[in-house]
Structure 1
Amino acid sequence: MAFEGVKEIKHTHDSKMVNALIAAGWELLGMTPGTTEEGHPWPLYTMGWKHERVAVQVRQDW
């Protein structure tokens, strides 16, 4: 994924949030795999906003 034109970056570990951000117009720029201290998977998703308008903020209501 190209980073040209990215106006804002957001990070999250929550896949539901990633889906909500994509639905709101954000783009997935990358994913870094990781684990918690207990060994559970805990990926870090990097999202980018490329639009000229103000970035849409998504509330986490779940």
Structure 2
Amino acid sequence: MTNLIELSEKNGFWTLQSVIIKENAESINFHNKYGFRKVGIREKIGKMKNGIWHDVVLMELRSKLVGVN
């Protein structure tokens, strides 16, 4: 993740977004560890093979280097 963040900033990206199934606490915690924040929940977006719909968490990380004036 550190490499992804560094590469995104070197290429001028000021924000990264991730969409994670709400029940996936490990992935949400992982993203939190790297500074991502929860910006919203989209309801019934991911449908699993068993037919159950899941909400997803939209997370983002905004660069502290790109787009700062």
CA RMSD after TM alignment = 2.6
2:27 counterpart residue number: 17
Unaligned runs of 5+ in 2: 1-13
Structure 1 or 2: larger strand share?
A: 2
Give the AA of the match of 1:7. Answer: T
d(CA) in 2 for partners of 1:7, 1:42: 25
**Which has more radius of gyration?**
2
Find the partner of 2:63 among 42, 51, 56: 51
Structure 1 or 2: larger helix share?
A: 2
> TM-score when scaled to structure 2?
0.51
1:31 counterpart residue number: 41
d(CA) in 2 for partners of 1:44, 1:20: 15
Paired residues, number: 49
Aligned structure 1 segments of 4 or more residues deviating by more than 2 angstroms: 35-41
Unaligned runs of 5+ in 1: 1-5, 54-62
d(CA) in 2 for partners of 1:23, 1:41: 27
